[in-house]
């Protein structure tokens, strides 16, 4: 009987963010502007780095990769959300749902690994400046980028695969604005304990590993700078690492709250707000936080604009 009912639930309904009609137009315009800034800003940063040979070093290759992943993450969620704000039918098929979830997990996980790699890059640059060209070669950079992507793919494959063990027979309403795993587990008819366990083990391990790498790297950077007792060195370290630390703290906070905690009985508005933050708001901050605080990027942008005006 369970399987017969399951075959009927081949489509789901996303409730979305908007519950009050008067908020539809303002929220649509707000998120549309944010998405356009995200795409233009991040792709513009990638273009800038691509066209300037002086920026073809690991630090900026990581930054361009982060910009690409942010665009990918936002594009996985935002267009569908914008469409659903005015859509009469907010249906999404199971295959589309799994595809969106897979893309979200892969991009978000890749970003976690990228942030850890960028922290290691800054550690080598500040703590071992003379050995930096020897240690942080473009080859190592490409390997770290590849490992980040492969890690994201494997992580998405694991959780995407475990979705197929779920049976949906009572409700097809997903209380969210995109297909995330937690709302899906809430409406599953069979026991989702194994899925929760996999999320806790794999998502928890990845976040603990990457956060530890970041904290250790910046702790060593801090000790190295304090040993020099140079105001100029301290300012340089703060300028170089401050933006990265700000971005990391903003990104990991909602992720830890969402996925590395006991499962709540219901998916609430707070969970949606956290999701909005790291799927829509954070990606638009990347070009702003990094570019406006980076002298080399601003110098390259000035040259680019001068050549094309």
List CB contacts of 43: < 8 A, sequence separation 6 or more.
67, 71
- Work out the mean pLDDT of the chain and round it to a whole number: 83
Please give the sequence-ordered ranges of beta strands (E in DSSP) within 123-200, or none if there are none.
173-174
Contact 33, 115 (CB under 8 A): no
- 211 vs 243 pLDDT, higher one: 211
pLDDT over 50 (residue 281): yes
List the one residue out of 253, 261, 245 whose CA is nearest residue 281. 253
- Tell me the percentage of the chain whose pLDDT exceeds 90: 33
pLDDT tens-digit series, residues 144-186: 999 999 999 999 999 999 998 888 887 788 888 899 888 888 8
Domain boundaries, the chain: 2-307
Q: Look at the domain 2-307 and name its fold.
A: Rhopdopsin 7-helix transmembrane proteins (1.20.1070)
CA 300, 301, 306, 309 torsion-angle sign: positive
Residue-level pLDDT at 16: 80
Long-range contacts at 159-162 (CB < 8 A, ≥ 24 apart): 159/101, 159/105, 159/195, 159/198, 159/199, 159/202, 160/98, 160/101, 160/102, 160/105, 162/194, 162/195, 162/198
- Report, as an integer, the average pLDDT of 243-247: 74
Supply the pLDDT for residue 304: 73
CB 80 within 8 A of CB 280: no
Output the pLDDT for position 9: 64
pLDDT at 188 over 90: no
95-125 residue pLDDT tens: 899 999 999 999 999 999 999 999 999 899 8
Q: Which of residues 287 and 204 earns the better pLDDT score?
A: 204
Q: Answer whether 127's CB lies under 8 Å from 224's CB.
A: yes
- For residue 260, name the pLDDT band (cuts at 50, 70, 90): low
Q: Tell me the whole-structure pTM to 2 decimals.
A: 0.87
Pairing of strands 11-14, 91-93: antiparallel
Residue 1 has a pLDDT of 38
Q: Does the pLDDT at position 233 exceed 90?
A: no
pLDDT of residue 277: 82
φ/ψ of 167, rounded to 5, equals: -120, 130
Q: Tokens 């406006």 correspond to what residue?
A: 292
């Amino acid at each position: 009987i369970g399987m017969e009912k399951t075959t009927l639930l081949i489509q789901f309904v996303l409730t979305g963010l908007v519950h009050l009609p008067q908020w539809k137009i303002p929220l649509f315009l707000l998120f549309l502007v944010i998405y356009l800034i995200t795409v233009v800003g991040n792709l513009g940063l990638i273009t800038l780095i691509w066209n300037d040979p002086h920026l073809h070093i690991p630090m900026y290759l990581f930054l361009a990769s982060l910009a690409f992943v942010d665009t990918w993450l936002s594009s996985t969620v935002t267009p569908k959300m914008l469409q659903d704000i005015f859509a009469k039918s907010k249906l999404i098929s199971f295959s589309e749902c799994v595809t969106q979830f897979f893309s979200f997990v892969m991009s978000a996980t890749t970003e976690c690994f990228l942030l850890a790699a960028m922290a290691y890059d800054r550690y080598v640059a500040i703590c071992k400046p003379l050995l930096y060209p020897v240690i942080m070669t473009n080859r190592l950079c490409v390997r770290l980028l590849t490992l980040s992507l492969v890690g994201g793919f494997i992580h998405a494959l694991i959780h995407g695969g475990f979705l197929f063990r779920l049976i949906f027979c009572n409700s097809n309403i997903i209380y969210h604005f995109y297909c995330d795993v937690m709302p899906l587990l809430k409406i599953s008819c069979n026991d989702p304990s194994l899925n929760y366990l996999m999320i806790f083990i794999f998502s928890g391990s990845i976040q603990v590993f990457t956060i530890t790498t970041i904290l250790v790297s910046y702790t060593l950077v801090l000790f190295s700078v304090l040993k020099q007792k140079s105001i100029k060195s301290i300012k340089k370290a703060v300028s170089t690492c401050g933006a990265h630390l700000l971005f990391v703290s903003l990104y990991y906070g909602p992720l830890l709250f969402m996925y590395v905690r006991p499962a709540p009985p219901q998916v609430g508005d707070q969970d949606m707000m956290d999701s909005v933050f790291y799927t829509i708001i954070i990606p638009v901050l990347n070009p702003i936080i990094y570019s406006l605080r980076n002298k080399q990027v601003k110098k390259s942008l000035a040259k680019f604009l001068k050549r094309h005006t």
